[in-house]
Structure formats: structure tokens, C-alpha cells
Amino acid sequence: MRLLVTGGCGFIGSNFIRHVLEHYGPESVTNVDALTYAGSLITTADMASRFGERYEFCRADIADPKRIEQIAQKHSYYGLINFAAESHVDRSIESPENFIHTNIVGTSVLLEVARRSGIKRFVQISTDEVYGSLGAEGRFTEQSPLRPSSPYSASKASADLLALAAHKTYDQEVVITRCSNNYGPYQFPEKLIPLMILRALADEPMPVYGDGLNVRDWIHVDDHCRAIFDVLMEGKSGETYNIGAENERTNLEVVHAILEHLGKPEALIDFVEDRPGHDRRYAIDATKIRRELGWKPLHTFERGLAETIDWYARNRSWWTEAHRSR
């Protein structure tokens, strides 16, 4: 079995490739990445030496149909897993055209090439942000309406609809996953948890939007990767699977936990003006994937966060080089 992974130099994609090659037996994984700000070869620097010919890298823009078709026809692939995405909300507010190019046009190209090239399974990696914001109660299910709040989440919702249309129109084997907020190693320090860790380590102000009471549902990236592989192998075509670990925390609670673990003062917290369209609360109902595929998370948030903090403290060279390469 060969797998084609797009966006494999980013946070979740690189962890997925490493997870699959370590724990399962695919003949090879081909990683396609454009190496924009969201992806870096530093993140995958160990893969060639660790996995040899089982790992292959190709630099390409997923919105380039000729280049993607060339790559797709090099091998006979069982599955294409699309992690490639512009994913930062603030950046989408500043430059929405980049998100349309990669997240919408790119997904359309991948679906078309996968269909023409005979790739059996297509997994579209989406986000819980397509559902918009929740009130104080309830959780997002797969039947929740799509109500995106930012150019980023709107572009991901559009990509999901293209994927579902490919299933309905062409009977293409497509499965969508929508996950809650990920954390873990190799995450670029513009996201909340790595940013707060690095600021705390450097004794620098830790910017917290608004009142810090926005709620996110956190999942360790390793648990997410296991779920994606389960969906690839056993998920029902045309279906969407929510992935979450039932770890709701306010942003302020996360920041306090990081400070406590590192023994840093709360005076480092710096409340800043809230960003436009900032969703108040996300929470995922993962009943479907638990019931149908037997998946469940293995990390508690407390243990996973502590391990993540320690990883960043030990791997200063990685995040220094990752930041320099942007």
C-alpha cells in the first residue's frame, strides 16, 4: 500500500507521516508540500534517514494540476490524505486570496487528479471551525450546519462541499474528518500553545485575545493521527467523522497551565484587543467515530500538555530554525 500525503511538512501532516511509517506497514509515503510558511523541511528532516526509500518528498503546489498529476502517476496509490491548507485565521483576514487558492482550488485539483489517477480513497482533513461558534451548551455533531466565521473556515467549508460533491457526482471514495484544536510537537509557534510556551520560556509577554475566555476543545496530535488512519482504512465513503477528545479549556486556562508547569509568573499574561470574528466556543461530539470505528483518545490533556511543553523546551534548535526559515 502506498499513500500520497499533501501538506506533510506541516504540523499535523508531518506527525501523521511519522506515525504511519512507525506503526503501520505502508510500502511508501509520498509527501507533497509547497513549503509555504506553514510547512518546513526542518520538520521532516529525520524522515529520509529513518525510513529510507519508504519516504519520498516532492515539492509542489496542490493547485498546480500538471505537477500534481505527474506526482500521482509515479506510483499506484491506495489513498490521498489532504492536510495541505492555509490554516491561520489572522492570516486569512489579512490575505484571504491565499486561502482560496490553496484550500479551495487546491482541493478541487486534488480530487480531480485522484479520480483520474485511480487513487482509491481520498481523505479530506477539515476542521471544527467550519461549524462556527457554539453557545455555552452543546457540541458539534456531523449534522451541525456549516456556519464559518472567517475566510479560513469558509475556505475549508467550501473544500468539504467539493469533496462531498465528488462522492455524490462521481461516486468517488471520499471521507471527511473535522477535528478540534490540535497540540503537540512540531507545531509552528504562531498557534496558541507553542506561542505561549516559547514566550514563557523567554520571559516575554504572552498575548491573550480579549478576556481569554474563548473555549477550545483540545486533542493531542498523536490521537488525531490514529483517528485519521482509522478513517482512511475503515471510514464509510461519503461520510464525515468528527474527532475530539472532550478537553474543553478556556484560552486563559491553557495559559495558566503552561505558566504553572514552567514556574513562570502570571504577570507575563498580556491581554490584547480581540480579533475580528473570534468564535467563542468550540466543542466536538466524537460519538460517531468512537461507535463506528472503535477509536478513542489515549492522551489526557494534562499529560499531553506537559509532554508538549517539555518537548519545546528540549528542542530549541527545531523551533529556532523553523522560525528562521519563515
Please, is 312 exposed, middle or buried when counting C-beta atoms within 10 Å of its C-beta (0-12, 13-18, 19+)? buried
The amino acid at residue 109 is: V
Q: What is the rounded distance in angstroms from the CA atom of residue 297 to the CA atom of residue 283?
A: 15
Under a CB-based contact definition with an 8 Å cutoff, are residues 295 and 227 in contact?
A: yes
User: Strand 240-243 and strand 174-179: pairing?
Assistant: parallel
Catalytic residue list contains 152: yes
* Catalytic position from the list 56, 129, 223, 230: 129
Strands (E), 244-287: 248-250, 269-272
Q: What is the rounded distance in angstroms from the CA atom of residue 128 to the CA atom of residue 283?
A: 8
* Element housing 168 (H / E): helix 151-170
49-59 burial by CB neighbour count: b if 16+ within 10 A, else e?
eebeebbbbbe
End-to-end C-alpha distance for the chain, whole angstroms? 34
Rg of the chain on CA atoms, in Å: 19
Nearest residue to 30 (alpha-carbon basis) of 66, 6, 49:
6
* Catalytic position from the list 33, 128, 173, 230: 128
Secondary structure class of 257 (helix, strand, coil) = helix
DSSP percent split of the chain into helix, strand, coil, nearest 5: 50, 20, 35
Cell of 8: 506533510
190-200 burial by CB neighbour count: b if 16+ within 10 A, else e?
eebbbbbbbbb
In the DSSP assignment, the letter for residue 140 is B
Q: What is the rounded distance in angstroms from the CA atom of residue 148 to the CA atom of residue 163?
A: 17
Catalytic positions:
128-129, 152
